[in-house]
């Protein structure tokens, strides 16, 4: 179980109370604002989605956790640089 301090508990209670009163989830809004800000600063083009991302999203519904883990590891291995792979063999 995760232990939280008094200040985290107070923040959670304040966020929960605000949501119950207004039906506005502040944490979600802040995360959205941060994401939008990063998209602008990094000049990320959001109009196009990579095909492999679309394919993964469509397969997630029918895949088991083990299948998802295996697919993720395969894709990770593909993107590792030669130096990363050599460092992994040394460790």
Do residues 74 and 39 both lie within one domain?
Answer: no
Do residues 86 and 58 both lie within one domain?
Answer: yes
What value does the mean pLDDT take over residues 68-90? 76
Do residues 43 and 55 both lie within one domain?
Answer: no
SS3 readout for the chain: CCCCCHHHHHHHHHHHHHHHHHCCCHHHHHHHHHHHHHHHHHCCCCCCCCHHHHHHHHHHCCCCHHHHHHHHHHHHHHHCCHHHHHHHHHC
Last residue of a domain, one of 47, 64, 80: 47
Q: Look-up: residue for tokens 């894709």? A: 75
Do residues 39 and 18 both lie within one domain?
Answer: yes
Which sign, positive or negative, has the C-alpha torsion 11, 16, 22, 26? positive
Chain segment 18-66, per-residue pLDDT in tens: 888 998 888 888 888 988 898 899 888 777 656 565 566 565 666 677 7
Give the model's confidence band at 79: pLDDT under 50 very low, under 70 low, under 90 confident, else very high: confident
Do residues 4 and 43 both lie within one domain?
Answer: yes
Do residues 76 and 34 both lie within one domain?
Answer: no
Check residue 69 and give its pLDDT: 79
Domain containing residue 61: 49-91
The residue that leads in pLDDT, 14 or 67, is 14
**What's the total number of domains in the chain?**
2
């Amino acid at each position: 179980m995760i232990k939280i301090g008094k200040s985290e508990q107070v923040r959670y209670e304040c966020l929960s109370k605000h949501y119950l009163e207004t039906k506005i989830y502040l944490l979600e809004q802040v995360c959205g604002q941060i994401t939008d800000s990063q998209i602008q600063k990094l000049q990320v083009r959001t109009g196009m989605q990579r095909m492999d991302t679309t394919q993964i999203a469509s397969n997630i519904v029918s895949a088991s956790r083990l299948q998802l883990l295996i697919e993720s590891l395969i894709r990770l291995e593909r993107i590792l640089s030669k130096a990363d792979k050599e460092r992994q063999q040394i460790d």
